[in-house]
Chains A and B, each alone.
Chain A
Amino acid sequence: MYADSITIGLMSSEIILVGMAMFIYVVGAFEPKAKVWPWIACITYLVVLVFVPTYETPLWKQVVANGVSLNSSLIIDDLGQFVRFLAVPMGLLFSLMIWQRKDGELASERLGTLMLAVVGVMLVGRANDLTLLFLGLEMVSIPTYVLLFLGRRDRATAEATVKYFFLSILSSALLLYGLSFLYGLAGTTAIVGTAQAPGIREALSGVGTTTSLENMTPMATIALVLIFAGLGFKIAAVPFHFYAPDVYQGTNNTNAGLLAVAPKIAGIVALIRLAILLPAAVGAFAWQLALIIAILTMTLGNICALWQKNVRRLLAYSSIAHSGYMLIGIAVGLAGGAGGLSGALFYVVVYAAASIGTFAALTYLESEDKPLQGTDDLAGLGQTQPLAAATIAAAMFSFSGIPIFAGFWGKFGLFMSAVNLATTSTNRTISTWFIILAIVGALNAAIAAAYYLRIVALMFFYPSRGALPAEGGKASLVATVACGLAVVALGVVWNPLMDWSKIAEQKLSQPGKVAVQIDNSDAVATR
């Protein structure tokens, strides 16, 4: 098995990142105290973000010109590209957040590990093979275990790491089990196939198989449930959410931020890739499952968050609730409605921007000896740290879906898809349930506003209780402000991104369209 020039070209970003991660690891072992590693990491991300697309995009466009294209285990489509362009800035922002940590000798390990997790997210985005998809997800998880454990040695950290480690492994096992059913049904690990070599998508929509769809239903249902269980853990959906508050609380703000964002992006994308394969074989149970999980997740997350006194615990429940919103989109997609998957995709971005902004601000505000714990510590921040406070406030308003912040358009897309499906569907059950889903979602937005406003009120309406150390470094502040601006900018100029996510969905959900395997003249496609 060897790769050709097209594959190398398409993978150039990932290759550069993995190479740089290795470089940082290896050379970092000899020069642990050098201040240069954060610079190198950030420059790498910038290079990937700026120069590689200029090289890659023409190639990508050429490859994708005849519809969805495959290249060995990669699928080249807008969804994949969307996720990759989301993952790289995420890596950049988190690198900024770990810039200033005192235990300088661990900087290279942190940065390299983070870079690998970013590559994991990017791989999940364009995996067209169950194996690659699973490897991508693990490439997100395993660096996270390391990051959780690096540096601190107290009991809370140990508990958080161990809890996350074991539950994550359990969820991976569940997911693998689910994937094995998919393999059993289709006889291949390729997700989207070509006319010559049908993949799981073709098999599960009844093309080119001898088994009828009805006979597939039991196994497909088991696969769906197991996939939801496995990926539900990654996105912290009820009932697989309970690790999140403890783990977030036990670790530092940077890691909590990473946990809130990276697995969420990977999980939602994997869910989009996998779950849409199944409705034809599973039937109505697919959307019912997603809908129930969505309702439970957002309601439970929001209600539990109301009583939290610890910042990270509160944000953990908030991140659970936001998974619930994203699942609205997944449920709509599973029920055959348009706009749901793109709504979830758009929501991931606005959620990530606001989340990273909040955690970056918290990182900036604390010092390693005096970590920020209670929400009360934020009191009076509006006067002592206006920039950080403004960013947190913008993020909170965005989380609660108030225009002109990005979160409003996220909710707009999701609610629109649910209302659209409910109004246009001829199926009465679907109409009823999705209108209930929309109403529950809307009311949840109001419940959530209660605790988000509490944070804003603390920062601006209460006097300060002693200045916070604010030793997170200038770099964290840069990340904070960048995210704050992104939250506002995406609220004002939301259409291009919404547009792109819609295109990604449209390209994705064209079941009749057979993908084209790129002719690798000098290569053997690996199967």
Chain B
Amino acid sequence: MDIARLLIASILVPLFGAGLLWIISPAGRDSVRKTALIVTLITLVLSVMVVKAYPKNGVNGDGTTEIAVTDIAWSGNSPAAFNVRLNLGLDGLGLWMYGLSALLMVTSVLVSWEAITDRPALFYGMLLLLEAGCLGVFAARDIILFYVFFEFTLIPLFFLIGIWGSEDRRYAAVKFFLFTLAGSVLTFLGLLAIVVWDYKTSGAGVMRFSISELTASLGKNPLPANLQLWIFLALFAGFAIKVPLFPLHTWLPLAHVQAPTAGSVILAGILLKIGTYGFVRFSIPMLPDAAAECMPWILWLSLIGIIYGALVALAQGDMKRLIAYSSVSHLGFCMLGLFAFNKLGVQGGALQMVNHGLSTGGLFALIGMLYERYHTRDISKLGGLARRLPVLSFFMLVFTFSSIGLPGLNGFAGEVFILVGMFQRAFAEAPLATKCQLMAISVLSVSGVVLGAWYMLYLVQRVFFGPLKEEIVGHGDHGQAAHASATSHAAHGHDDHGHGAEEALPDNGIVDLKCREICALVPLVVFMFWIGLQPDYFLKRMSPTLTKLTQGAEESVQKTVQSQPSPATRLTQMAAENGEPDRVR
């Protein structure tokens, strides 16, 4: 079948699926969730078929990097109206995020299986709407269509957090919505300004909204420097809040902690990446000079995010909060790589977007599973769970290692590329002041890796190893029994030196992962190993697109270097000026 049709179908299937759920909602929770699972699975199959069709070396025969392109008028086709088009397609940048969205949605449905009892049809309906939005964001080739999907994702997540979240969910939902909206309305103005500038200078005579056409046109007639900077800042407002970059991150931990498990998985796994995606899709290729100019600033903010996020994560007592702050840190790494503008850095940044989705999505799913069993996320209330829940602990270890970048797993590939890219940027020729800054950023960013390993291993050690500790909060009869058995076990262990490990645990009604939960996690693990062992498979498909998108900014950085004297000449000049002040006057 035609790939373009498959791509459209993959976005429409969840959309109609949501409608279907509304119709069958009287049939009860079980049929609703089964239907939702089937819909997400169909979508996954469709999206896998689309992703598989992508050329292996990332370039089509004719040099383009996009597949599955559909381009139809939105409605009607009159010269007077805005020529906003239903323009969809996938290139190397959106490819893996698109696939990841389809994959994580299946995981989300599976982790919500038992947890959601209130208004299930609405829940799964919102989840499917969110899926349509996420898939659409990464496939949109029209600037307004992108924004439509971008904003549309807010609505389902608002409901997901606000209805099915934890205690403080209402505040979290509103804060999440308003923060994101406040930034993205400015982004909207920036995008409109780009369209209008193209209209004014290209001579096409009509307003064009196609992202590829706009990128090409702005490459030919770049915006003047000051306008570029303003538009860059406008786009920055929305994307940086979404990422989130350091001072704008305050909505994230709140939203993550309050969201239901599925919401956290999607939020961390996909929605945050829309911010980084936006930078690479719009800010860097369309406004290369402004991007080059702002590079040190953004790198500093990313670095602060990396270290600050990691330090705050270390201090958390709540597992979900810890992972939420680790997201701030990891997304800082993504930004670091993307704004290094060189091949390695950008590839690493783009790969890390996928990696973080897999590992953090998985971690949130696991914490949700733990919460279903123990009704607490408090690190101090749990311990030694590896004995009670060996399978869950195995997954936890894999995800942790992926998150901290153990060689052989996906996180390693991403982080190494990012750091090498960053050092390359720092060693590249640059004015002295910039060079010093870049050096400092590169060196300091390495500490983020160390800190990342620290807080994650600390979490794993406290919760999964050491003496068994299962404090159960609000679990009814189960809770009482479990608590009693846990303490009795501790007393027992003292008499029976060193034999605790072999002896059978008293049954407290808490069981290890069920088949359903394993099914939710296994695909993530497969991809972690796949990316870790064969990153080339993924990078080759992304690379040409990424080069195309960032080369303008890289050239712009080099241009500024050439126009300014190199550090050595600059030093001699300074010496000359100091030595002979009179002559200068």
Contacts and interface: CB of A to CB of B under 8 A. Distances in A.
Q: Do A and B bind each other?
A: yes
Interface of A: 383, 397, 400-404, 408, 412-413, 415-416, 419-420, 423-424, 438-439, 442-443, 445-446, 449-450, 453-454, 456-457, 460-462, 492-496, 498-499, 502-503, 506
Contacts of B80: 499, 502-503, 506
B162 A408 contact: no
Contacts of B144: 412
Nearest to A439: B189
A259 B76 CA distance: 34
B300 interface: no
Interface string B73-91: 1111010111010000000
12 contacts: A408-B148, A439-B186, A443-B185, A443-B186, A450-B178, A460-B159, A460-B163, A461-B162, A461-B169, A495-B82, A495-B84, A502-B80
Interface stretch (B27-35, B101-109, B193-201, B496-504): B193-201
A497 to B, nearest CB: 9
Chain B interface secondary structure, helix, strand, loop or mixed? Answer: helix
B522 interface: no
A454 B174 contact: yes
B188 A496 contact: no
Contacts of B162: 457, 460-461
Chain A interface secondary structure, helix, strand, loop or mixed? Answer: helix
Interface of B: 73-76, 78, 80-82, 84, 119, 144, 147-149, 151-152, 154-155, 158-159, 162-163, 169-170, 173-174, 177-178, 181-182, 185-186, 188-189, 192-193, 195-197, 199-200
Given A402-B152, A450-B178, A461-B170, A423 B74 contact: no
Contacts of B154: 402
Nearest to B170: A461
A403 B75 contact: no
A419 B174 contact: no
Contacts of B200: 423-424
Contact of B151 (A408, A456, A457): A408
A453 B170 CA distance: 10
A186 to B, nearest CB: 31
A415 B75 contact: no
B405 to A, nearest CB: 37
Given A400-B181, A446-B181, A494-B75, 11 more contacts: A402-B181, A416-B82, A416-B192, A420-B199, A443-B182, A443-B185, A456-B158, A457-B173, A461-B170, A494-B74, A495-B78
B151 A449 contact: no
A495 B144 CA distance: 13
Contact of B152 (A403, A461, A506): A403
Contacts of A438: 189, 192
A499 B155 CA distance: 28
B181 A495 contact: no
Contacts of A453: 158, 174, 177-178
B76 A415 contact: no
Contacts of A400: 181
B163 A415 contact: no
Contacts of A412: 82, 144
Contacts of B199: 420, 424
A493 B74 CA distance: 8
A419 B193 contact: yes
Nearest to A442: B185
A445 B181 contact: yes
A84 to B, nearest CB: 20
Nearest to B190: A419
A115 B78 CA distance: 35
A495 B75 contact: yes
A445 B192 contact: no
A228 B289 CA distance: 44
Nearest to A498: B81
Nearest to B129: A404
Contacts of A397: 155
B178 A457 contact: no
Contact of B75 (A424, A460, A496): A496
Given A402-B151, A403-B152, A442-B188, A502 B178 contact: no
A390 to B, nearest CB: 10
Query: What 9 A-B pairs have minimum CB-CB distances, sorted nearest first?
Result: A442-B185, A499-B81, A403-B148, A446-B182, A495-B75, A502-B80, A423-B196, A461-B162, A419-B192
Given A420-B196, A449-B181, A442 B170 contact: no
A408 B150 CA distance: 13
Contacts of B189: 415, 419, 438-439, 442
Contacts of B152: 402-404
B155 A402 contact: yes
Contacts of B195: 416
B360 to A, nearest CB: 26
Contacts of B185: 401, 442-443, 445-446
